[in-house]
Structure 1
Amino acid sequence: MAAEESRYLLGGPAPGSNRRVRNEKLYLATFAAVLGPLSFGFVLGYSSPVIPELRKISDPELRLDSNQASWFGSVVTLGAAAGGILGGYLVDKVGRKLSLMLCSVPYVFGYIVIISAQNVWMLYFGRMLTGLASGITSLVVPVYISEVSHPKVRGMLGSCVQLMVVTGILGAYVAGLTLKWRWLAVLCSFPSCIMLFFMSFMPETPRFLLNQNKRSEAIAALRFLRGPHADHEWECTQIEASVQEEGLNLSEFKNPSIYRPLLIGVSLMFFQQVTGINAVMFYAETIFEDANFKDSRMASVVVGSIQVCFTAVAALIIDKTGRKVLLYISGFALGWGPVPWLVISEIFPLKARGISSGACVLTNWVMAFLVTKEFNDLVGFLTSYGTFWLFSAFCCLNVTFTAFYVPETKGQTLEQIEAYFRRS
């Protein structure tokens, strides 16, 4: 029976059944969730086509100088850092599903503030609100997807988070070719509204429900996600065996099974940002203008398209190649974009998932703020060549860190990954 159970966890037949586990509704739940990262991508991409327009606008109350432009691009990361803290609280208190539904509110309200902006401070406030929603999204969606998936497809579905982020960035770049900044904000608000609608029909994750002693609801969620022919009772029992009902206290962070994955997750988020990717994506159009490209907007679209293509490749191959192999590859979209978000959704024990994920998201967005806000100062101090050589040096450190400290999680259940850290 053990071999049959193992095949079931990898997406094969359920124990005692000759039918395959059906994944259609699992994919539907994933689609509903990744509309959040799509919204998040529109937030990140919005500044690139809008900053050049706002720097030339006739209204002096809205016109951005170079310092204001850098704040307009980077202030979203401060909102996202706060969103990481808030998301870490919400994901454990109200659940994964409701947290996602709630974050649509600051998305929409933030864009309403931007659309109605009469001065620069309203632009900043709107960006802060959309950043807050982005921070919650970047924490909750990977957790939701990892907890509803089975190991055979968890890597692919988890990588769809970053795929939808870069798709949103590209969407903002393309729409920015024709839409003025207010109308672009209207367009960017749509994905979060659609997410709110679809998520209202999706189940909460079985692991959260079991942690809340809601076994019948967990069985119903598994029936939705796995289809009627899977052995829901058996999978529920496997999850229950690792669910810790007691709360987490600070003294438990002395336990290697909690602090080791936390240190790995925080380090992955730090290294992801010091590659400089967000500086490039936030200011893509400005960078190409400074490089004397004839059509800086189209050059930005080309960069966004390459990001989408290679992130899609990563999503397709990650369950075959594993996580570490992609982290050794030099391209951001193929490795350091999607993989860190996937790994932090896998390695934390259930009772520490909220606070540990919050610490990782906070680290990511604080570093994103520092990199994006200080990018122009770095260029002034080190020159463009020196700045990008510095980013390259950090990329080399990334590979070294991966080789020695990041575990391979391909093909393992979340419970097996948790057991690995308890043993080591």
Structure 2
Amino acid sequence: MAAGPPHSGRLREVYISEISHPKVRGMLGSCVQLMVVTGILGAYIAGITLKWRWLAVLCCFPSCIMLLFMFFMPETPRFLLNQNKHSEAIASLQFLRGPHVDHEWECRQIEANVEEEGLSFLEFKNPSIYRPLLIGVALMFFQQVTGINAVMFYAETIFEDANFKDSRMASVVVGSIQVCFTAVAALIIDKTGRKVLLYISGIIMALSTALFGLYFKMVLPNPNNSSHPDLLFTLNTVSPGTESNLSWLAVVSLGLFVAGFALGWGPIPWLVMSEIFPLKARGISSGACVLTNWVMAFLVTKEFHDLIGFLTSYGTFWLFSAFCCMNVIFTAFYVPETKGRTLEQIEAYFRRS
């Protein structure tokens, strides 16, 4: 799994966004994706030596530890104030911010934007609700059409063709790249902002998928094989000399793509999704975004071979490159910068626009 946290991860993102101080919300929100890719890397490493049964047992422990610690975590102040539980909200803020902060002031800021429970269908005509919803859904759509899952599925094959000594280590190498660059994103996101990292990430992915397309264009043995629907067939039927000369290009393209995705379009759509929705629409809107993400992941994965048959291998990766360019354009015109803003300020921004 490469694209982002599953349904439970979505709930963690929302929880973290509601309890975090604006100055560190980006870093803490990005840590969800960092922990996801760290867990995946750990599973890759353990899978080299453990049988699948013991690997399954090992993977149970992090979930149990998380369940144990969540018993000690408070409910979010915004939820408590929405339930008219002022004293409980103050206690939650004292736990989260410490004793030397003006908790009453923060409560007043939150209360000024707290709305009554309940969301009718007609309210989706309100720009403060439908605009962030459309942005969130579009972010999830663009995250998947970059081709992240298609690239990850063939990582091991690409390393095999590059004469990597142990192709099983391909997953570990890719996982390590993910962890390193997701950590970099978490450390700098509150300084650079969300949009800057989305720009850099989109440009890197566009270049790397374009290089992938160039690689397949150069290694295809003849036009008759270029329409073969199996990428494994394509990789295994290139001429030996061409493969050995150009295998480095595929490995570099893969590394760049994974690094670029981990730097921006991996963690940031999930983070922005947890920041832009108003409180009363947060549940249904974030659910719609998660649904979009997994539907698009399914469609891209399912139709990948058909795309290769229709567009050729290089044409498919150039299509992914075009979508990455569209990511950058969409970010420039429609994604708001949420760095340093409180959730209430973000909500007020959509009300005014």
Q: Is the 8 A contact 2:89 2:107 kept in 1?
A: yes
Q: CA deviation at 1:387?
A: 2.6
Q: Is the 8 A contact 2:2 2:148 kept in 1?
A: no
Q: CA deviation at 1:324?
A: 0.5
Q: CA deviation at 1:279?
A: 3.0
**Cα deviation per residue 1:18-62 (whole Å; 9 max; x = unaligned)?**
xxxxxxxxxxxxxxxxxxxxxxxxxxxxxxxxxxxxxxxxxxxxx
Separation (CA, whole Å) in 2 of partners of 1:183 and 1:381 = 42
Residue 174 of structure 1 is aligned with which of 28, 41, 45?
Answer: 45
Separation (CA, whole Å) in 2 of partners of 1:150 and 1:213 = 22
Which one scores higher on RCO, CA 8 angstroms, separation ≥ 6?
2
**Cα deviation per residue 1:224-262 (whole Å; 9 max; x = unaligned)?**
000011111111111011000141100000000100000
In the superposition, relative to structure 1, how do residues 351 and 328 fare at CA in structure 2: closer, same or farther (>3 Å)?
A: same
Q: In terms of mean alpha carbon deviation, does 395-404 or 270-279 score higher?
A: 270-279
Residues 1:249 and 2:120 aligned together: yes
In the superposition, relative to structure 1, how do residues 286 and 190 fare at CA in structure 2: closer, same or farther (>3 Å)?
A: farther
Residue of structure 2 in register with 1:157 after alignment: 28
Q: Is the 8 A contact 2:143 2:269 kept in 1?
A: yes
Q: CA deviation at 1:267?
A: 0.1
**Cα deviation per residue 1:258-292 (whole Å; 9 max; x = unaligned)?**
00000000000000011111233355435544766
Q: CA deviation at 1:303?
A: 1.1
Q: Is the 8 A contact 2:2 2:149 kept in 1?
A: no
**Cα deviation per residue 1:57-87 (whole Å; 9 max; x = unaligned)?**
xxxxxxxxxxxxxxxxxxxxxxxxxxxxxxx
Q: Is the 8 A contact 2:190 2:339 kept in 1?
A: yes
Separation (CA, whole Å) in 2 of partners of 1:194 and 1:379 = 43
Residues 1:315 and 2:186 aligned together: yes
Residue of structure 2 in register with 1:134 after alignment: 3
Count of matched residue pairs: 286
Q: Is the 8 A contact 1:288 1:300 kept in 2?
A: no
Secondary structure at 1:177 match in 2: helix
Q: Is the 8 A contact 2:17 2:275 kept in 1?
A: yes
Q: CA deviation at 1:315?
A: 0.5
In the superposition, relative to structure 1, how do residues 177 and 384 fare at CA in structure 2: closer, same or farther (>3 Å)?
A: farther
In the superposition, relative to structure 1, how do residues 288 and 181 fare at CA in structure 2: closer, same or farther (>3 Å)?
A: farther
Separation (CA, whole Å) in 2 of partners of 1:314 and 1:233 = 33
Residue of structure 2 in register with 1:49 after alignment: none
Q: Is the 8 A contact 2:77 2:89 kept in 1?
A: yes
Separation (CA, whole Å) in 1 of partners of 2:313 and 2:56 = 31
**Cα deviation per residue 1:66-114 (whole Å; 9 max; x = unaligned)?**
xxxxxxxxxxxxxxxxxxxxxxxxxxxxxxxxxxxxxxxxxxxxxxxxx
In the superposition, relative to structure 1, how do residues 297 and 377 fare at CA in structure 2: closer, same or farther (>3 Å)?
A: farther
Secondary structure at 1:133 match in 2: coil
Q: CA deviation at 1:134?
A: 12
Secondary structure at 1:186 match in 2: helix
Secondary structure at 2:74 match in 1: coil
Separation (CA, whole Å) in 2 of partners of 1:188 and 1:378 = 35
Secondary structure at 1:296 match in 2: coil
Q: In terms of mean alpha carbon deviation, does 272-281 or 342-351 score higher?
A: 272-281
Secondary structure at 2:165 match in 1: coil
Q: CA deviation at 1:393?
A: 1.3
Secondary structure at 1:189 match in 2: helix
Residue of structure 1 in register with 2:109 after alignment: 238
Q: TM-score, normalized by length of structure 1?
A: 0.64
Q: Is the 8 A contact 1:282 1:372 kept in 2?
A: no
Separation (CA, whole Å) in 1 of partners of 2:297 and 2:310 = 19
Q: In terms of mean alpha carbon deviation, does 412-421 or 172-181 score higher?
A: 172-181
Q: In terms of mean alpha carbon deviation, does 191-200 or 291-300 score higher?
A: 291-300
Separation (CA, whole Å) in 2 of partners of 1:382 and 1:413 = 45
Separation (CA, whole Å) in 2 of partners of 1:314 and 1:193 = 28
Q: CA deviation at 1:305?
A: 0.5
Separation (CA, whole Å) in 2 of partners of 1:260 and 1:287 = 41
Q: Is the 8 A contact 2:82 2:117 kept in 1?
A: no
The 5-angstrom pairing of residues 24-423 of structure 1 reads 143-282=14-153, 284-286=155-157, 288-289=159-160, 293-330=164-201, 331-423=260-352
Separation (CA, whole Å) in 2 of partners of 1:397 and 1:206 = 38
Q: Is the 8 A contact 2:3 2:266 kept in 1?
A: no
Q: CA deviation at 1:378?
A: 3.4
Separation (CA, whole Å) in 2 of partners of 1:360 and 1:386 = 29
CA RMSD, Structure 1 to Structure 2 (Å) = 2.2
Separation (CA, whole Å) in 2 of partners of 1:281 and 1:393 = 19
In the superposition, relative to structure 1, how do residues 210 and 319 fare at CA in structure 2: closer, same or farther (>3 Å)?
A: same
Q: Is the 8 A contact 1:162 1:337 kept in 2?
A: yes
In the superposition, relative to structure 1, how do residues 191 and 279 fare at CA in structure 2: closer, same or farther (>3 Å)?
A: farther
Q: CA deviation at 1:156?
A: 0.6
Q: Is the 8 A contact 1:155 1:410 kept in 2?
A: yes
Q: Is the 8 A contact 2:3 2:148 kept in 1?
A: no
Q: CA deviation at 1:216?
A: 1.4
Q: Is the 8 A contact 1:280 1:287 kept in 2?
A: no
Q: Is the 8 A contact 1:288 1:299 kept in 2?
A: yes
Larger Rg computed on CA atoms: 2
Q: TM-score, normalized by length of structure 2?
A: 0.77
Separation (CA, whole Å) in 2 of partners of 1:333 and 1:275 = 12
In the superposition, relative to structure 1, how do residues 290 and 376 fare at CA in structure 2: closer, same or farther (>3 Å)?
A: farther
**Cα deviation per residue 1:323-363 (whole Å; 9 max; x = unaligned)?**
10000013111111111111111100000000000000110
Separation (CA, whole Å) in 1 of partners of 2:65 and 2:193 = 32
In the superposition, relative to structure 1, how do residues 184 and 164 fare at CA in structure 2: closer, same or farther (>3 Å)?
A: same
Separation (CA, whole Å) in 2 of partners of 1:246 and 1:307 = 39
Structure 1: gaps of 5 or more residues: 1-131, 136-142
Identity of aligned residues (%): 91
